[in-house]
Amino acid sequence: MISRILLSAVLSLLALTVPVAYAVDYSQGESLRVIGTNVIMREEPWQGAAIVGSLNEYDHLTFLGEYTVEPITVRVRGESVTAPYLRVRADSGDEGWVFGGLVSADHDANLLAGKLTLLDPGDHKDDIIRLYGRDYVMHDRRMRSSSTQALLDRLDVDQAWEYYYFRTGEGVAFGLGEDERIQSIRVRQDDLEDAGLTTYWRTVEGFLSDPLRPECHQTPPASSCDDYQH
């Protein structure tokens, strides 16, 4: 009787300690993009392993088909994210392991134009996170920044999330209502001119229809801007 009790206890303990297999949605050779900043690639799949290099937001990676069976939980921008390590190759040729919570499939993290039509006013903030991740800048009326106040005025809201892609000079801002749903959307385009960096905020329709023409944002706009959509 005692032996049966001991055997039962051992089996119960094993059931608690054996890790549950974790599957990833990526296939070998699939293109990935880095969705965090200063993401570390390591020689081995554990924190503290030797560093191969640091990756920038939106860097391209190729998934090599290997991942850790047991995921880890890491604090990313103040929130807990659970994912395995993935073995990847950077375009530089470097190979190593990165935390899976900081990369995304290329078709989900592609250039801005590929995602802008997937969200509309009325969609929930969780839909934003699903498509764009959590690497956003918060804008709030309590902030004193003049650029924040100007953006919130443009969006006609008291709170907004902004995503910005430094490598392309583009971004998108979602104005959020008290119900945590999208109220308005504006696209950011930065233009490096002789006088310095100028930021232009455009509608989704304008961004998708016409390349940026700074002369059309002047007051008054140039005479050739009749067909230009802001």
- DSSP track, the chain: -HHHHHHHHHHHHHHHHSPPP---SPPTT-EEEE-SSSEEEESSSSTTSPEEEEE-TT-EEEEEEEE-SS-EEEEETTEEEEE-EEEEEETTS-EEEEEGGGEEETTTS--GGGTGGG--TT-BHHHHHHHH-S--EEEETT---HHHHHHHHHHTSSEEEEEEETTTTEEEEEEE-TTSBEEEEEEEEEEEETTEEEEEEE-HHHHHHS---GGGGSSSPPGGGTT---
Q: What is the pTM of this model?
A: 0.57
| Domain shared by 76 and 149, yes or no | no
pLDDT tens, residue by residue, 142-152: 998 999 999 99
Q: Has residue 170 been placed in a domain?
A: yes
What is the pLDDT confidence band of residue 123, given thresholds at 50, 70 and 90?
very high
- Model confidence at 18, pLDDT cuts 50, 70, 90, reads very low
- 116 lies in the same domain as 213: yes
21 and 97 in one domain?
yes
- Give the pLDDT of residue 20: 45
Among 120-129, 160-169, 203-212, name the one with the lowest average pLDDT.
160-169
- Residue 107: which pLDDT band, with cuts at 50, 70 and 90? low
pLDDT digits (tens, 9 = 90+) for 42-98: 999 998 999 999 998 778 899 999 999 889 998 876 678 899 999 999 989 999 999
Same domain, 98 and 153: no
- Domain count along the chain: 2
Q: Does some domain include residue 230?
A: no
Q: Which domain holds residue 120?
A: 112-217
pLDDT at residue 15 is higher than 60 = no
- Name the domain boundary from 105, 123, 149: 105
Q: Tell me the average pLDDT of the chain.
A: 84
Domain boundary among 50, 70, 105: 105
Q: Are residues 120 and 159 located together in one domain of the fold?
A: yes
State the average pLDDT over residues 199-222. Answer: 92
The reply to whether 207 falls in a domain is yes
Does 229 reside within a domain? Answer: no
